[in-house]
Amino acid sequence: MSVSSPMPISTPRKAQILSHSERFAASRAEWRKKAAFFHREDENYLRFLIPKNARVLELGCGIGDTLAALEPAHGVGVDFSPALINIARTRHPGLTFIVGDAEDPVTIASLEGPFDYILVLDAVGSLDDCQKFLAQLHPLCTRETRVVIGYFSHLWQPVLKFAEWIGQRMPLPPQNALAPADIAAIAQLADFEPVKAEQRMLMPVSLFGLGHLVNRFISILPGFRFFALRHYSVCRSWLAAKEDLKSATVVIPARNERGNIEPAVQRLPQFCDDIEIIFIEGHSKDGTFEEMERVKAAYPNKDIKLMRQPGKGKADAVFTAYDVARGDVLMILDADLTMPPEQLPKFWDAIKSGKGEFINGSRLVYPLEDDAMRFLNLIANKIFSYLFSWLLNQRYTDTLCGTKVMRRSDYYRLRDGKAYFGDFDPFGDFDLIFGASKLNLKTIDLPIRYAARSYGETQISRFRHGVMLLRMVVFAFFKIKAI
């Protein structure tokens, strides 16, 4: 598949850019070699955002080296320079390269989508109309597709021009000056919703290994990141965000919660036509499982399933139930009912509408009932919410609220990629939060009215679990931030 050449040129500026690309095509590989450290750093983060074996489209692919570095199962590169495309085809014969103008609707319509990821790396600086360009990409997107835009900080323009002048960077025609906020605003005008943004790389040169350390540990810190050379925006198509969700599974893990089993069923609203309830019991000593059996028999009109978890911990219980759940949407409802079941319809509405893909309950917005949370726990939760918001590049006001909601299809993708994080979380909250972040899911914090227990005792230890939270911060820093 290809677009005929020579390309129709719509503007004098575009003709200048095409002429430049053709003139420097033969030397492009040498320029990349001269900036090898920068490209390694850049591709390292792109590989975090775009996992291998995905369907990837790169618009403005040049000689295809970055696309090849992502190791896609199906990779398509588009560039309007025939000379660059010829080089790309020679260097990377296992990928598909197409001569075409990424701003031309004919080129976009000729592509065989959809794609898992659409990469726009630096090409955004050469576009005539960024909004129109992005708006044309919707037919190539599904709900799961992510558009990844990488660009240079406009604050670095004088430095980059100086690098060109001394021969350390390939000369470029005049580029668009786009700050991260500009890209986010343009994306929204084109009906793409920003999911997350990151700014990285203070040093584009190795400097005997110091550059990598600075980029990994310093450039990501608050204050420093503002001056970073590279910024990345991850967006999703708002037009493809909504899916026809028909059913839900409510997983209720329970250990020594006998008195809360029947109230959980009685208080659960019929927020959609098809609700599956899975009680999964965790080695209780108060007759919880026997109570589950009684309640199941007492409510034959409800689709109630009972399970005993094979291992220990909430994570084992939740994921054991998730693996056999049949609902389009998976919900966790802690059996202590401190998150009132009556509030689950809000979670259903948030995900069914497409407004969010990972809905995280937050207990720390509305005032708490007396005795609902100890004071030290409250302070610690607020501190950790700021830390995790920075680590994940998404807003979290509460990471340990038990109620988290996502699509079953996204859970399967999360489970398939779980090896990246390993088996580290006995509660499951961070398995889900970190996994959702790695998938670039649109996260929404949904405020709930957190209630005090009416039966049983909390199974949270403030000091032991506080240490666990600290471990999670360190773990996330090295697996998500300092990469």
Specify whether 70 is located in the same domain as 158: yes
Say which amino acid occupies 65: D
Residue 2 within a domain: no
C-alpha 105: how far from its chain's center? 28
Backbone phi and psi for residue 38, each to the nearest 5 degrees, phi listed first = -60, -45
Quickly state the pLDDT bin for 4 (edges 50, 70, 90).
Answer: very low
Question: Domain check: are 191 and 303 in the same one?
Answer: no
Residue 465: how many other CB atoms lie within 10 Å = 16
Q: Same structural domain for residues 130 and 55? A: yes
Check residue 376 and give its pLDDT: 61
Helix axes 82-91, 12-24, angle to 10 degrees: 40
Of 194, 218, 237, the residue at which a domain comes to its end is 237
Can you give the pLDDT at residue 464? Answer: 63
Of 150 and 469, the structure prediction assigns the larger pLDDT to 150
> Mean pLDDT throughout 24-36?
95
* Range 193-201 average pLDDT: 95
Residues 33, 159: Cα–Cα separation, whole Å: 19
Identify the domain boundary among 237, 259, 285: 237
Question: By C-alpha distance, which of 205, 217, 238 is closest to 39?
Answer: 205
Residue 3 in any domain: the answer is: no
Question: What CATH number did the domain enclosing 470 receive?
Answer: 3.90.550.10
Last residue in a domain, options 213, 237, 261: 237
Average of per-residue pLDDT across 464-481: 83
User: In the predicted model, is pLDDT for residue 5 greater than 50?
Assistant: no
Report whether the peptide linkage leading into residue 6 is cis, meaning its omega lies within 30 degrees of zero.
yes
pLDDT, tens digit (0-9, with 9 covering 90-100), for 360-373: 998 877 776 655 55
Domain membership of residue 317 (yes or no) is: yes
- pLDDT attached to residue 6: 47
CATH number of 25's domain: 3.40.50.150
- Rounded CA-CA distance 435/411 in Å is 9
β partners of residue 57: 76, 118
Q: What pLDDT, on the 0 to 100 scale, is given for residue 465?
A: 63
Interval 225-248: pLDDT, tens? 999 999 999 999 999 998 899 999
Tell which wins on pLDDT, 220 or 1.
220
Is position 335 within any domain? Answer: yes
The answer on pLDDT for 79 being more than 90 is yes
CB contact at 8 A, 361 and 347: yes
> DSSP per residue over 407-455, as a string?
EHHHHHHHHHTGGGT-S--SSSHHHHHHHHHHTT--EEEEE------SS
Give dist(CA 316, CA 314) in Å, integer: 5
Give how many domains the chain has, as a whole number.
2
pLDDT surpasses 80 at 451: no
Residues 264 and 117 placed together within one structural domain of the fold = no
Q: Averaged over 299-326, what is the pLDDT?
A: 95
- Domain identity same for 93 and 195: yes
Report yes or no on 1 lying in a domain: no
User: What confidence score (pLDDT) does residue 423 get?
Assistant: 78
Phi/psi of residue 421, each to 5°?
A: -95, -30
pLDDT score recorded for residue 456: 55
Q: What is the pLDDT of residue 371?
A: 55
> Does the pLDDT value for residue 468 go beyond 60?
yes
Residues 331-355 have a mean pLDDT of 95
161 and 265, same domain (yes or no)? no
Q: Is there a contact between 278 and 252 (Cβ–Cβ < 8 Å)?
A: yes
Left, alpha or beta for 93 (phi > 0: left; psi -120 to 50: alpha)? alpha
**Looking at residues 166-178, what average pLDDT do you find?**
91
242 located within any domain: no
Domain-embedded: residue 4: no
Distance CA(56)–CA(37), nearest Å, equals 23
The answer to whether residues 338 and 296 belong to one domain is: yes
Q: Residues 94-115: pLDDT tens digits? A: 999 999 999 999 999 999 989 9
Query: What value, to the nearest 5°, has the Cα angle with vertex 476 and ends 475 and 477?
Result: 90
Report which residue type is found at 6.
Answer: P
Domain co-membership, 161 together with 91: yes
Tokens of 411: 């859970």
**What pLDDT is stored for residue 458 in this prediction?**
55
Residue 5 lies inside a defined structural domain of this protein: no
Burial 218-240 (b: 16+ CB within 10 A, else e): ebbeeeebeebbbbbbbbbbbbb
Distance in angstroms (rounded) separating the CA atoms of residues 105 and 242: 24
Q: Quick check: 2 pLDDT over 50?
A: no
Confidence of residue 470 (pLDDT cuts 50, 70, 90): confident
Q: Which domain holds residue 380?
A: 247-481
What is the average pLDDT score of the chain?
91
Q: What mean pLDDT comes out for the span 384-393?
A: 88
Percentage of the chain surpassing pLDDT 70? 93
* 314 and 228 in a common domain: no
Same domain, 221 and 256: no
- Based on the domain organization, do 400 and 471 belong to the same domain? yes
Bigger pLDDT: 1 vs 144: 144
Say yes or no: 251 and 163 in one domain: no
- Tell me: the pLDDT tens digits for 331-341? 999 999 989 99
